[in-house]
A and B are shown apart, each in its own frame.
Chain A
Amino acid sequence: MSTVSPSADLTRQTAANLATAIASREVSAVEVTRAHLDRIEAVDADVHAFLHVSGEQALAAAAAVDESLQRGEAPASPLAGVPLALKDIVVQQGVPTTAGSKILEGWLPPYDATVTQRLVAAGIVILGKTNLDEFAMGSSTENSAYGPTRNPWDLTRIPGGSGGGSAAALAAFEAPLAIGTDTGGSIRQPASVTGTVGAKPTYGGVSRYGVIALASSLDQVGPCARTVLDTAMLHEVIAGHDPRDSTSIPQPAPNVVDAVRRGQSDGVAGMRIGIVKQLGGDGYQAGVSESFAQAVATLTAAGAEIVEVDCPHFEYGLAAYYLILPSECSSNLARFDAMRYGLRVEQRPDGTLIESAEQVMAATRGQGFGAEVKRRIMLGTYALSAGYYDAYYGSAQKVRTLIRQDFERAYEQADVLISPSSPVTAFAIGEKVDDPMAMYLNDLATIPGSLAGIPAMSVPSGIASDTGLPVGLQIMGPALGELPMYRVAAAFEAAYLAEHGTLVPDLAPALEGAK
C-alpha cells in the first residue's frame, strides 16, 4: 500500500491512504483536516458544496484522534482521522441542520443521528454539512434554498442531486469521504455526473434514525468517495442494525471491504452480469451509451459473462415513484409547522399579527418551503386522498411489487445488473429548472432499484466523448447482495485504471487554478 509523503497534497489522497498514514503517524489527523479546511477555504466560494463548515470542531476531533494514537491506542476504525463531508439532511448535535430548506434555518439539532454517532465513534472527522436539494427533492441541487452547488468539472453545470454538495465536495478534493442519502438516485446520479463513487446499500442497511425523512420507504443513507475501496470502508462504518430504526436490517454490516479486495485480485471471472434491456437506448445521451458500451467491453474482457435481461415493468417505475414519494413526503413534512422548531411566521406581509395556530402553520409553510417541495406535497396530498388512494398510491404500490419481481427474475440469470447511472452527463445550471418532468427523467435508471430496495452503486466509467464530462456505471445487486456489487465495482475500477493509467476522479479540471 502506498503511503503519503509529507510534501504530497493531502487533499488528493484516497481515504485509505490517509488513514494508513495517520495510523502510522506519518502525518497527523490535524494536518490532514487543516489541508481540507484550507482547500474548502480556497475553492468552496466557487463550488458551494458546503452549507456549514465546522472548522473548530473538525480540528478538535482530529486532535483527539492524534492524541489517542500518541498514547499508543489502536485507531478507533480503519478510517480514524479521515475527514468527511456530511449531507445536511443528517442531524448532528449542535451543528446547524437545514435539509436545504428555509423552514429549518438556524435549527440546532439536540441529538445525533445514528450515522453521525457511528462516524464520530470511528474517529472520522466531520468537516461540515453539504448542500442538497431542499429536503432531498431534486436531481441538480438547484432546489436548495441556499443556492446551487456547482460541478467541479465545469462550474456552469449542475453536480447532480439531491446530494450534489457531497459529490462536489469529493470531486473538488474538499473531502475524501462523504455521506449521501439516496431516495430515487440522490447518491448515484451525483456520483455519476461528478465522476465519483457512491453506493446505496440495501434498504434498511444503514440506519435512518436522525436522517430527515423524505420518503421513508425509499430513503437510504450511503457512502460516497472517490474510490471503490474508500466507499466500501465507509460503508462498513455506517452500516449494521440499529434498534432505533424499525426498518433496519437485523444483521451485521456486510464485509464489503473483503469483496473489494476480491474484485481487485480476482476480477469478475465467472460472474454473470446482466444488462437491463429497458435501461438504455432512447433518452440516453450518445456519449453515455458509448461509454456504457465500453464499460461492457471492459467487463467482458475481465472475464464476465454478459447477459441481457428483460424487466418489462421498469417503464412504469418513474410514474410509480412519483406517486409514492410525494405521498410519503406530504406526510413526513407535515411536522414542519412552526410549533416546536425552525421558522415561525407570525406576521402577514403587511405587518399585522396572525391570530390562529392554523394560520401560523399555513403562513410558515407557505414561506418556508420552496416550489418543488410544495409541488410534491400537493401531489402527495392528492394521491392519498380518500377517493384517489386506490387509483394512485395503491396502484403505485402494485407496480412496485411488479418491479421487485422483475428484479428477482433478472437475478436468476445474473449475479449483478448494470446500466448507465444517469441518462445524461451534467447539464447546465438553469437548463431544466422550469421543466420538472425533464428533471425527473434524470433518475430513470436509478429509480427501479430504489423501488425494489436493492443495493446499487455508481462508479466512474470514463468521459463522454460528446460533452467531455464524466459518465457513471450503475451496478445493482440483489437484495443484501452488496458483496457481488462491490466486487464488480472494484474489478471494473481496477480494469479502468489498468487501461487508462489514472482514475476518472483525478481529472476534475475546473478548479486547477485554485490549487
Chain B
Amino acid sequence: MIDFDEALELFDPVMGLEVHVELGTATKMFCGCPNAFGSAPNTQVCPVCLALPGAMPTVNAQAVEFATLIGLALNCEIAQLCRFSRKNYFYPDMPKNFQTSQYDEPIASNGHLDVDLGDGEIFRVEIERAHMEEDTGKSTHVGGLTGRIHGAEYSLLDYNRAGVPLVEIVTKPIVGTGKSAPVVARAYVAALRDLLLTLGVSDVRMDQGSLRCDVNLSLMRKDAGEFGTRTETKNVNSLRSVERAARHEISRQAGILEAGGTIVLETRHFDETTGTTSSGRPKETAEDYRYFPEPDLVPVVPDREWVEKLRAGLPELPWLRRARLQRDWGFTDLEMRDLVAADGVVLVEKTVAAGATPAEARSWWNAYLGQRANERGVTLTELPITPEQVAAVSALVRDGALNAKLARQVIDGVLAGEGEPQDVIAARGLAVVSDDAALQTAVDEALAAQPAIAEKIRSGKLQAVGAVVGAVMKATRGQADAGRVRELVLTTLGVEG
C-alpha cells in the first residue's frame, strides 16, 4: 500500500464498471413465475426456471421493453436484431448449468452517461453495452465460519431468484479521471441509480442486491500508454463502498507495482468493515464459457416504431430535471447540491406543488427538517411529515397566523405524531395572538412594570421599544405578533414610529 495521492502522482487509474440491475418486471425473464423478493425459498419456481427436463424459455416482453428504455436513456443504439446466447458453466445454483445471456449481440450499445461529480463538474462516462440476462438462484452455505462454501457442512439452494431478469450495463474503459477516479465511480453508480429509478424499471436497492457493481481497476504508469493488469472487485453493494473499493485498489496496486511486483488478474471481494479488498478467484486461464446462440429462443427484433415511441415517452432524466427545477426555483448551485445530497428534491417539489414558495420549502426541508432527520438518524423521506403539512405551516406563517418560532413548534408537534398542523396548534395553543385588546393589556402591563423605559421611549429613544416588545412576547409565551406589539407600544406612548 502506498498513499493514495502519492499513487496518483505515479499512475493513471483505468476503470471499468459493470453494473447488474434486477428489473422490476412482474414476472421472470423466461417464464411466468412472479419476480418477487423475499418469498419463502423455492415458492416462486416452475419447470422453466428450475430447468426441469423438457422445459423451454420464452422471452419476457416487459423485460425487453425495460432494457430498451435503459438503452435509450443511456443514449445507446438499440439493436435492429439481437440474440440470446448460452454461457456454459457448472454451478449448483444455476439450474440449467448455463446462463441465458446476451453475448456478441446485446440489445443496446455505444452510449454515454453524463455524471455530475458533485462540485458542478460533469464527467462523461462512455457506455460499451447494456445487455439482458437472467439471475441465478441463491446458495446459503451452512456450518462454516465464513458463510462461504469453503468449510461449510452443507448448502441450501433457493431458486426463487433463478430467472429474475437482469440488465448488465458495461462501461468502456474510464480514463483521464486521475485522483477523481473513486468519486467518478461513485457518482456514476449514483447517477445510474437515479436514472433507473426515474425510468421505473428497477427498485435499485443496493442493499437487497437489485443493483450490484463490479469495479474493474488497473493502473497505467504515467506516460506508459499501456493498460495494466486489472482486478475485478465483485458485487460491491453501496455507493460508499464503490468509492472506497476503487480508492483501496489504487493504493494497493500502486504499492505492489512500486515494489516491483505484478498485479494478478483475479476477482476480489470488498470488505465493508475494513474498506479493503481481498483475493477471490485467480483467473490464471481465461474461463471458457463456450458461448453459442441460444437455439431455444428466436432472435429479438425490436420494432423501430415501437423503439421511437419509447424514446418519445422517456421520462425527463434526473439531471435535466434537476437543472430545470433549479432554474424554476432560483436556487444557487450550492443550495441545489445540498438538497440533492439530502434526497430532498422531490419533497421540495411536492411542497411547492402544495402551495409553498420554493424558498420556504427549501428552508424547511434543508434546514430545520434536515436537522431533525439527522437527530433521528433517518432520511428526510422517512420523517413522519408530508410535504402538504409543511406547505400548510408555511401558509400559516405567510398569513401571520404563526411566527417562525411557533411554526417550528407546530412542525415538532406533527413529527411527534400529534396530528395535522391545525390539531397541533389547537392542542398546544400556538396561534399568534392578534387580538388588540389582549395585546393592549399586555402592553399596558409591561409599560407599567418598566416606567423608566417608558420614559426613554417617550423622549424619543426608539431603540428602547425592543425591551418592551420582548417583555410582551415573554408574557404571551411568544404568541404575539411582534410587529403589532411595537405599533401598540408607540401608539400607547403617543410617539411617532
A binding-site residues for B, Cβ under 8 Å: 90-91, 97, 99, 104, 107, 109-111, 113, 208-213, 215-217, 243-247, 327-328, 330-331, 334-337, 339-341, 357-358, 361, 381, 384-386, 389, 393
Q: A389 vs B92: C-alpha distance in the bound complex, in angstroms?
A: 26
Q: A377 vs B137: C-alpha distance in the bound complex, in angstroms?
A: 25
When A and B form their complex, which 6 residue pairs have the shortest distance between CB atoms, in order from nearest? A334-B97, A216-B295, A384-B290, A217-B295, A210-B54, A212-B53
Contact B290 A113 (CB under 8 A): no
Chain B 73-115 near chain A by CB (<8 Å), digits 1 or 0: 0000000000000101010100111100000000000000000
Contact A244 B54 (CB under 8 A): no
Chain B's nearest CB lies how many Å from the CB of A390? 11
Contact B292 A331 (CB under 8 A): yes
Q: Decide yes or no whether B55 CB sits under 8 A from chain A.
A: yes
List CB contacts (< 8 Å) of B27-73 with chain A. Answer: 47, 50-59
List CB contacts (< 8 Å) of B252-302 with chain A. Answer: 286, 288, 290-292, 295-298
Contact B292 A111 (CB under 8 A): no
Chain B's nearest CB lies how many Å from the CB of A174? 24
Contact A331 B86 (CB under 8 A): yes
Contact A243 B96 (CB under 8 A): no
Given A334-B97, A339-B157: A247 in contact with B298 (beta carbons within 8 A) = yes
Contact A209 B53 (CB under 8 A): no
Residues in A with CB closer than 8 Å to B291 are 384, 389
Q: A341 vs B88: C-alpha distance in the bound complex, in angstroms?
A: 20
Q: Decide yes or no whether B155 CB sits under 8 A from chain A.
A: yes
List CB contacts (< 8 Å) of B217-235 with chain A. Answer: none
Chain B 199-210 near chain A by CB (<8 Å), digits 1 or 0: 000000000000
Residues in A with CB closer than 8 Å to B90 are 334, 337, 358, 361
Q: A208 vs B57: C-alpha distance in the bound complex, in angstroms?
A: 11
Given A361-B90, A384-B290: A247 in contact with B296 (beta carbons within 8 A) = yes
Contact B52 A246 (CB under 8 A): no
Q: A341 vs B297: C-alpha distance in the bound complex, in angstroms?
A: 24
Contact A246 B53 (CB under 8 A): no
- How many chain B residues touch A (Cβ–Cβ < 8 Å)? 31
Given A212-B53, A246-B297: A111 in contact with B47 (beta carbons within 8 A) = yes
Contact A246 B59 (CB under 8 A): yes
Contact A91 B54 (CB under 8 A): yes
Contact B58 A91 (CB under 8 A): no
Given A216-B295, A339-B157: A244 in contact with B53 (beta carbons within 8 A) = no
26 pairs, CB–CB < 8 Å, chain A vs chain B: A91-B53, A99-B53, A111-B55, A113-B54, A208-B56, A209-B55, A213-B296, A216-B296, A246-B56, A246-B297, A247-B298, A331-B88, A334-B88, A334-B97, A335-B96, A335-B97, A337-B92, A340-B95, A341-B53, A357-B155, A358-B90, A361-B90, A386-B286, A386-B288, A389-B290, A389-B292
Q: A381 vs B47: C-alpha distance in the bound complex, in angstroms?
A: 25
Residues in A with CB closer than 8 Å to B296 are 213, 216, 246-247
Contact A384 B96 (CB under 8 A): no
Q: A75 vs B295: C-alpha distance in the bound complex, in angstroms?
A: 38
Q: A211 vs B288: C-alpha distance in the bound complex, in angstroms?
A: 29
Contact A340 B50 (CB under 8 A): yes
Residues in B with CB closer than 8 Å to A213 are 54, 56, 296
Which of B50, B56, B290 lies in contact with A381, CB distance below 8 A? B290
Which of B52, B96, B292 lies in contact with A110, CB distance below 8 A? B52
Residues in B with CB closer than 8 Å to A208 are 54, 56
Which of B95, B155, B295 lies in contact with A335, CB distance below 8 A? B95
Residues in B with CB closer than 8 Å to A328 are 292, 295
Given A211-B54, A337-B90: A246 in contact with B298 (beta carbons within 8 A) = yes
Give the residue name and chain of the A residue nearest to B88 (CB): A331
Residues in B with CB closer than 8 Å to A104 are 53
Residues in B with CB closer than 8 Å to A337 are 90, 92, 97
Chain A's nearest CB lies how many Å from the CB of B160? 14
Residues in B with CB closer than 8 Å to A216 are 295-296
Q: A210 vs B155: C-alpha distance in the bound complex, in angstroms?
A: 29
Q: A215-B295, A246-B56, A384-B292 are in contact. List 17 more A-B contacts (CB 8 A).
A: A109-B52, A209-B56, A213-B54, A244-B58, A246-B59, A246-B296, A327-B292, A331-B86, A331-B98, A331-B290, A337-B97, A339-B92, A340-B51, A341-B53, A358-B90, A385-B288, A389-B290
